[in-house]
Structure 1
Amino acid sequence: MICQNPAMKTIGPWRPGLCRQLQKAFVTGVQKLDRTELETACEGYSNIIESMEGCTLYKGTLSSGVEICVASTTITRLKDWSKSAELTFHNKIEMLSRVNHKNFVNLIGYCKEDKPFCRMMVFEYTPSGSLSDNLHVQGLEHLDWSARMRIILGVAYCLQCMHDLTPPVVPMDLNTKMIYLTNDYAAKVADFSFWKEFSQKAKILGVDRSRRCVVPDKETNIYRFGVVLLEIVSGKLPYSDWAERFLKDDENVSRMIDPTLKSFNQNELDVVCEVIRDCVQKNGSERPTINKIVGKLRDGIGISPEQAIPRLSPLWWAELEILSADET
């Protein structure tokens, strides 16, 4: 639990302006938001979800009760924020705003101010933590086999949507730490890794990494998806020799299953293992497209796109659907 700093200044009463801005964003796209309103929503930026290289994630609550996640750069001075960083920031906003899928941690707003300096993006909030935490942290609710299969299909359907966009949107660093879970444990793919390109660490080293930011490609994304699948079914971190040995030995398929699982479906496991082997082939050109992967997984596991999304839509999704209907 995060405690309030007693020395922190008192935040003034909440004003409804941000809610109106977000309502507009639900229909018209990503909106520029006010820093002081976000400060109020995030309890003076004391409510930290997670810190990662180049970025801090805060939980916020709007006056309407809608929960949000605010991602803020760790850069604190305008002079440390280059022109190329600003261009990359705006390009990322434009890119993420094109993804509209219920298995994606959707971008709903951004904030940029120079005095005091801030660069932030506002996303929907996912309350059940990362997939990595739910697989590896003791004390969290156990993910059974059916939940893991639903997560796999949710990620696959989201990637299919992203890859099919023109131009495609490919997550920079797909892994279980960048997949979050809703209240009913539906998967939400996030893309926060790009913030490290602006990190203070890069500035100290004298390198503006945003100038050489490498655009991820579909083949690499498919490989990382295969690694994610291996981690989901094994319950182990996949960066070890055992993973490579498993991929070469068909007889080891059942032995690599997460021992904490009380049961699993052998036919579904066989399908997932076949997809893993296809995804992690050394020659990228031989890896399947996400459309072929989705077809194989859906045929073998039988979870539709409708079954993979959150059963209870977050409040902001419900408002989006209502307001979109009003606009038409």
Structure 2
Amino acid sequence: MIATENMSHKIGEGGFGSVYFGKLQNGKDVAVKLLSSLSKQGATEFLNEIDLLSRLNHRNLVSLLGYCNDFKQQMLVYEHMPCGSLKDHLHGSLANSSTLDWKTRLRVALDAAEGLEYLHVSCTPKIVHRDVKSSNILLDSRLRAKVADFGLSKMIGDDNTSHVTTTIKGSVGYLDPEYFRTSKLTEKSDVYSFGVVLLEIICGRKPIDAERSEEELSLIKWVLLYVAANEEPERQLTDILDKRMHLSKNDFKSFNDLLDLSIKCIQSEASKRPTISEIVTHLREALISVVSDDTTEENVQSFSFAEYSCSLIHAGR
């Protein structure tokens, strides 16, 4: 393929297959996802992603630009997100060279939540992503976030009832325990997974880390046990916060608000979790609290960061 120089520039790997950097004849940068013969998702998810993304249009969802469905080769062409994934920056390939500040992390969380809100509220029928995780939240050159990878997504009725699925889908560390136990899928399954992402943003740690002790293997269990044992907010701040990041006194309230929100999202019973719209509201308020005193909510929603240098990403790829 000319656009990708015969798939010579690999920039990622997912359940569907490898992702390569490409450039169209008009100069536009793209990401090309090639279906692997060893893919755990396969042709069904390939077609599902095409079907869903052809219907969706939101600033916080990665855009599908085209596809090839030849029997010898199946590929999807997306807009290129040059700053990689949220996972890369928190505990992945860029963790040692990139430190997202607190304001940026809140902004990324809000962007992703607004993308999910579009799926849950604005789409008819509503769409449950089913694979919300930090590696599926991609960042553009200004570190604005977009939700990606819709191969496992599911359209469900809008009558507020759960949808029973025959096969449980999701990723280890992010999977809603109620969905796993009952096979009943609702948008609250995405809320649970997003709660895990919020904990990653706070702690800078993997959801499941086999290199840690048994007590710290699961991020969720570690945080819940620690919060239960240390009721003083200052203590929680000291030991839970990502050590690479430093909060100012003005950031303290938003940190505790986000920690509280994440714990509400990961409740074992779906009925006790907030809706994605409630999450969006909380995140907007948290972001407002860390910007200048004269910033209004309207300004926060249109807030853009200074251009972020992604040369470290391109150099590594």
Normalization by structure 1: what TM-score?
0.69
Q: Is the aligned partner of 1:132 residue 2:91?
A: no
Q: Is the aligned partner of 1:246 residue 2:242?
A: no
Q: 2:34 aligns with which of 57, 68, 72?
A: 72
1: distance between equivalents of 2:36 and 2:45? 16
SS of equivalent residue, structure 2 residue 52: helix
The residue identity in structure 2 corresponding to 1:72 is L
Q: In 1, are the aligned partners of 2:83 and 2:140 still within 8 Å (CA)?
A: yes
2: distance between equivalents of 1:161 and 1:188? 12
- 2:198 aligns to what? 229
Higher alpha-carbon Rg: 1
SS of equivalent residue, structure 2 residue 131: coil
Q: 1:190 aligns with which of 139, 148, 151?
A: 148
CA deviations 1:178-220 (Å, max 9, x no partner) are: 111111111121116649xxxxxxxxxxxxxxx9475963111
- 1:326 aligns to what? none
SS of equivalent residue, structure 1 residue 111: strand
The residue identity in structure 1 corresponding to 2:31 is C
Q: Cα–Cα, structure 1 residues 182 and 85, in superposed 2: closer, same or farther, change >3 Å?
A: closer
Q: Cα–Cα, structure 1 residues 127 and 88, in superposed 2: closer, same or farther, change >3 Å?
A: closer
**Alignment gaps of 5+ in structure 2:** 154-165, 171-184, 209-217, 289-296, 309-317
Q: Is the aligned partner of 1:306 residue 2:264?
A: no
Q: Is the aligned partner of 1:63 residue 2:25?
A: yes
Q: 1:178 aligns with which of 99, 121, 136?
A: 136
2: distance between equivalents of 1:243 and 1:214? 25
Q: In 1, are the aligned partners of 2:87 and 2:135 still within 8 Å (CA)?
A: yes
The residue identity in structure 2 corresponding to 1:233 is I
- 1:286 aligns to what? 272
1: distance between equivalents of 2:101 and 2:224? 25
Q: In 1, are the aligned partners of 2:141 and 2:307 still within 8 Å (CA)?
A: no
SS of equivalent residue, structure 2 residue 303: helix
Q: In 2, are the aligned partners of 1:185 and 1:310 still within 8 Å (CA)?
A: no
The residue identity in structure 1 corresponding to 2:206 is L
SS of equivalent residue, structure 1 residue 307: coil
**Alignment gaps of 5+ in structure 1:** 1-38, 196-210, 313-328
- 1:145 aligns to what? 102
Q: In 1, are the aligned partners of 2:106 and 2:283 still within 8 Å (CA)?
A: no
Q: How many residues align?
A: 253
* Cα deviation, residue 57, structure 1: 0.7
Q: In 2, are the aligned partners of 1:178 and 1:192 still within 8 Å (CA)?
A: no
Q: Cα–Cα, structure 1 residues 63 and 180, in superposed 2: closer, same or farther, change >3 Å?
A: same
CA RMSD, Structure 1 to Structure 2 (Å):
3.0
Q: Is the aligned partner of 1:94 residue 2:51?
A: yes
SS of equivalent residue, structure 2 residue 69: strand
* Cα deviation, residue 238, structure 1: 3.3
Normalization by structure 2: what TM-score?
0.71
Higher relative contact order (CA 8 A, sep 6+): 1
Q: Is the aligned partner of 1:259 residue 2:243?
A: yes
Q: Cα–Cα, structure 1 residues 237 and 276, in superposed 2: closer, same or farther, change >3 Å?
A: same
The residue identity in structure 1 corresponding to 2:56 is V
2: distance between equivalents of 1:42 and 1:73? 15
Q: Cα–Cα, structure 1 residues 168 and 58, in superposed 2: closer, same or farther, change >3 Å?
A: same
1: distance between equivalents of 2:31 and 2:247? 35
Task: State, as a whole percentage, how many aligned pairs show the same letter.
Answer: 32
Q: Is the aligned partner of 1:276 residue 2:254?
A: no
Q: In 2, are the aligned partners of 1:50 and 1:56 still within 8 Å (CA)?
A: yes
- 1:46 aligns to what? 8
